[in-house]
Amino acid sequence: MERLAIEGGYPVRGGKIYYGRQWIGEDDIRAVEEVLRSDYITCGPKVDEFEQELARYTGAKYAVAVSNGTAALHCACLAAGIGPGDEVITTPLTFAASANCALYCGARPVFADVDPHTYNIDPASVRAHITNKTKAIVAVDFTGQAVRHEELRAICDEFGLVFIEDAAHAIATKYKGQQVGSLADLTCFSFHPVKTITGGEGGAVTTNDEALYRKLVLAHTHGITHDEAQMQDAPHEGPWCYEQISLGYNYRMTDFQAALLVSQLHKVEHFAARRKQIVSAYNKAFADMPELILQQEIPESDTCRHLYIIRLALDKLTCTRRQFFDAMSAENIQCQVHYVPVYWFPYYQALGYEKGLCPVAEEIYQGIMSIPLYPKMTDQDVEDTIHAVKKVVEAYRK
């Protein structure tokens, strides 16, 4: 048995790697430089180009670029008409923004439990939480796997709910051959550096509904329009005139971010293919290890994984998750945990939420850990990660 680095042994590698990392190439740098040397660095043609490219790629009719994924979720809720007194059902196994977006609008997040195998929101639990106050569902494609679209769509149609898909993890994922981004009423993306494509920051919302699209445009630009067809006091005395016709926010994307995203979007299939290769290697390496529980996928989802999660079967190990985490770090494989159940946070506890609301999600949380997954990983990086996981499991195996 190899001696763990945390106990004085040699680590599996010399330099540390992390759970996620961007891949910026010379073509990306040239794209940004070109914009920085141009007349427009914000509110210019590259934002329009990116919106058109994203709509084309996802198959959606419309795309609105915004400043980040949280802004995308907020704008989606605003476009959906969510307001005080409404309830929005979402999952607790997500980043806080998936629930906070309801609070931003004065609504109340309601947490449905997750499927014990896929870790995505469970449609049966969604149905059980619907009341006469429910206005929308924010369904998260956790780790990149598509949610059960057909079941959730049926529920939304039955109860007249807005289907918002939080696809922050899921660009390049397909559901039954159709790109995520063209399926829900509103789909929200994030372009944070650890995502499959990045603009440094950035987000977007896609939709096939023109009325929702017009609301998204207003929501992310102060509620201000130059479109005389939308103005209440048109015609105006000159082309400089504009009107604020609703309350909106400054959630605009810069042109240099959009230029980077256009360049990155041209490589998304390459990035996705490499992610799938790494996931396949991990699945094969860990398949026969009873100490690890692997996330399962529904056959309908052709998944581009943002995260690869191992779940520790702690009853088969002599360590805690923290000890496993620290041992991996000592081997120079830096993991992360995604995510603490949202309603466990002090802010949500102060709002009256209590632990125990979603027992399946809470049980899953106790053992999960994200290991490195990003397209710039070399084959050696992948082998080192596998080596480290097996080394730590062997050391702590009962």
How many structural domains comprise the chain? 2
Q: Is residue 276 part of a domain?
A: yes
The whole-angstrom distance between residue 376's C-alpha and the CA centroid of its chain comes to 19
Distance (Å, whole) CA 214 – CA 237: 24
Asked if 276 and 230 sit in the same domain, the reply is no
Residue 157, helix vs strand vs coil: helix
Q: Is the dihedral of CA 23, 27, 33, 35 positive or negative?
A: negative
pLDDT at res. 228: 78
Q: Is residue 4 part of a domain?
A: no
Among residues 100, 102, 153, 107, the alpha carbon closest in space to that of 126 is found at 153
Asked if 143 and 220 sit in the same domain, the reply is yes
Q: Is residue 2 part of a domain?
A: no
pLDDT tens digits, 308-331: 999 999 999 999 999 999 999 999
Of 243, 265, 287, the last residue of a domain is 265
Instruction: Name the helix (H) or strand (E) containing 373.
Output: none
Distance (Å, whole) CA 373 – CA 189: 19
Asked if 61 and 192 sit in the same domain, the reply is yes
- Residue 202 near residue 67, CB atoms below 8 Å: yes
Of 265, 297, 323, the last residue of a domain is 265
Distance (Å, whole) CA 25 – CA 30: 9
Q: Is residue 1 part of a domain?
A: no
Asked if 55 and 174 sit in the same domain, the reply is yes
Domain harbouring 198, CATH code = 3.40.640.10
Q: Is residue 178 part of a domain?
A: yes
Size of the chain in residues: 398
Percentages helix, strand, coil for the chain, rounded to the nearest 5? 40, 15, 45
Domain span at residue 341 reads: 13-22+268-396
Distance (Å, whole) CA 19 – CA 371: 5
pLDDT tens digits, 59-74: 999 999 999 999 999 9
Domain harbouring 337, CATH code = 3.90.1150.10
Asked if 294 and 337 sit in the same domain, the reply is yes
Of 215, 245, 265, the last residue of a domain is 265
Distance (Å, whole) CA 53 – CA 47: 10
Distance (Å, whole) CA 93 – CA 107: 19
- Residue 135 near residue 161, CB atoms below 8 Å: yes
- What radius of gyration do the chain's Cα atoms show? 22
Q: Is 367 exposed, middle or buried (0-12, 13-18, 19+ CB in 10 A)?
A: buried
Asked if 255 and 307 sit in the same domain, the reply is no
pLDDT at res. 172: 98
Residue 388, helix vs strand vs coil: helix
Q: Is residue 8 part of a domain?
A: no
Asked if 79 and 149 sit in the same domain, the reply is yes
Distances (CA, A) of 379 to 175, 227, 259, 382: 28, 53, 30, 5
Residues of the chain short of pLDDT 70, as ranges, are: 234-235
Q: Is residue 5 part of a domain?
A: no
Asked if 99 and 38 sit in the same domain, the reply is yes
pLDDT at res. 237: 76
- Residue 69 near residue 168, CB atoms below 8 Å: yes
- Residue 373 near residue 275, CB atoms below 8 Å: yes
Asked if 289 and 250 sit in the same domain, the reply is no
Asked if 130 and 155 sit in the same domain, the reply is yes
Distance (Å, whole) CA 75 – CA 108: 16
Q: Within a 13 Å sphere around the CA of 331, how many CA atoms are in the beta-carbon half?
A: 27
Asked if 124 and 79 sit in the same domain, the reply is yes
Phi-psi region of 55 (alpha: psi -120 to 50; beta: other; left: phi over 0): alpha
Q: Is 1 exposed, middle or buried (0-12, 13-18, 19+ CB in 10 A)?
A: exposed
Asked if 247 and 322 sit in the same domain, the reply is no
pLDDT at res. 234: 64
Q: Is residue 107 part of a domain?
A: yes
pLDDT at res. 390: 98
Distances (CA, A) of 141 to 83, 189, 292: 24, 10, 22
- Residue 66 near residue 204, CB atoms below 8 Å: yes
Instruction: Name the helix (H) or strand (E) containing 325.
Output: helix 321-330
Distances (CA, A) of 286 to 258, 294, 295: 39, 8, 11
Q: Is the dihedral of CA 237, 219, 186, 41 positive or negative?
A: positive
